[in-house]
Amino acid sequence: MARQKILVVDDEEDILELVEYNLAKNGFQVTCVATGEDAIKTARAQSPDTVVLDLMLPGTDGLEVCRALKADAKTKMIPIVMLTAKGEEQDIVAGLEMGADDYVTKPFSPKVLVARVKAVLRRKEIEPTSDDASLRISGLVINPGRHEVLVDGEGVVLTFTEFKILHMLARRPGWVYTRGQIVDGVQGQDVAVTDRSVDVHIVSLRRKLGAYAELIETVRGVGYRFKDA
């Protein structure tokens, strides 16, 4: 079986060596580049399975690289894991809004980075659940057709917006959604949802889910995700 290809983009040589060593040790074929321009060119030429992308690059920065890859039909489906220094929450949000799949903050644990790369690759291989398919996560059942949620066999009454948020998150476990993406995903039927009200809906949703509240994880400063099994 061919090894999965990872493109690593960072202008710090020691970071490149660290990431390359740990990914190669886990069986990946790794290509390293140090500039945004080379990242775009290499991604188009090699079609890697995942890109590990530093946001703070000279010249064409990581956000511009992300925008370029997601705008290109040849590269838009390649998952991107962003590398970013702590405190760059706005850049993280911007990257996720552009289509990046996950992020790791510097300084980072190589084991965590490898785990995140494996997670996005695993999700890439799984077709998203159809809008009408029922979801079962342990004792939690979500039935879109009936607009019904069961917790350990007992029905739970959710508002239209709460149901939409829960279903959106649960369809892609581990996927990070910004508040803006959640707003875009649940708007409709004259329901007004704002970035700020998303947090209120999440609090109410967790309360109603009881023992399963912890399945909805807060990604500090960014948004929310459904716990990846």
Read off the pLDDT of residues 56-84 as tens digits, 9 standing for 90 and up: 898 999 999 999 999 898 898 899 999 98
**Mean pLDDT lowest among 3-7, 90-94, 176-180:** 90-94
pLDDT the model gives residue 125: 67
**Mean pLDDT lowest among 46-55, 141-150, 193-202:** 193-202
**Mean pLDDT lowest among 9-23, 169-183, 205-219:** 169-183
The chain-wide mean pLDDT, for the chain, equals 87
User: What's this model's pTM, rounded to 2 decimal places?
Assistant: 0.70
In the predicted model, is pLDDT for residue 96 greater than 90? no
Distance of CA 172 to the CA centre of its chain: 9
Query: What's the CATH class of domain 5-125?
Result: alpha beta
pLDDT the model gives residue 126: 59
Structural domain boundaries in the chain = 5-125, 135-226
pLDDT the model gives residue 226: 93
Burial class for 211, CB neighbours closer than 10 Å (0-12, 13-18, 19+): exposed
Query: What's the CATH class of domain 135-226?
Result: mainly alpha
In the predicted model, is pLDDT for residue 121 greater than 80? yes
Read off the pLDDT of residues 170-183 as tens digits, 9 standing for 90 and up: 988 888 899 888 88
In the predicted model, is pLDDT for residue 190 greater than 50? no
Q: Establish whether domains 5-125 and 135-226 are of one fold.
A: no
